[in-house]
Amino acid sequence: MLARHPIFFVCSGFRGEFADARDWSRNIEDMPPGRSVMKRCAHALVLLVFLGRGLAAQQLPTAPPASVGISSERLERMHRGMQAFVDRREVAGIVTLVAREGKIVDVHAVGFQDVESRKPMRADTIFRIASMSKPITSVAVMMLYEEGKLLLTDPISKYIPSFRNQRVATGTATEPARRDINIRDLLSHRSGLSYGFLDDGPVGNAYRATGVSDGLTVTNGTIAENVDRLAAAPLVSQPGTEWHYSLSTDVLGRLVEVVSAMPFDAFLRERIFTPLGMTDTSFDVPDAKWSRLATVYSPDRSSGIRPMKDPETFLNTVMSPIAYYKSPKRYFSGGAGLTSTIHDYARFAETLLNGGTFGNVRLLSPKTVELMTLSHTADVPPSPLLGGGGGFGLGFLVTTDLARSQTLGSVGMYGWSGIYGTNFWVDPKEHLIGIMMVQLFPGATVSSSFQMLVYQALTRSDYFPALRTSQPSAGGRQSVSGAASR
What residues are labeled active site? Answer: 131
Beta bridge partner(s), residue 299: 305
Q: At what angle do helices 133-146 and 248-260 cross, to 10 degrees?
A: 40
b/e sequence 429-461, b meaning 16+ C-beta within 10 Å: ebbbbbbbbbbbbebbebbebbbbbbbebbbbe
Q: How far apart are CA 434 and CA 299, in angstroms?
A: 25
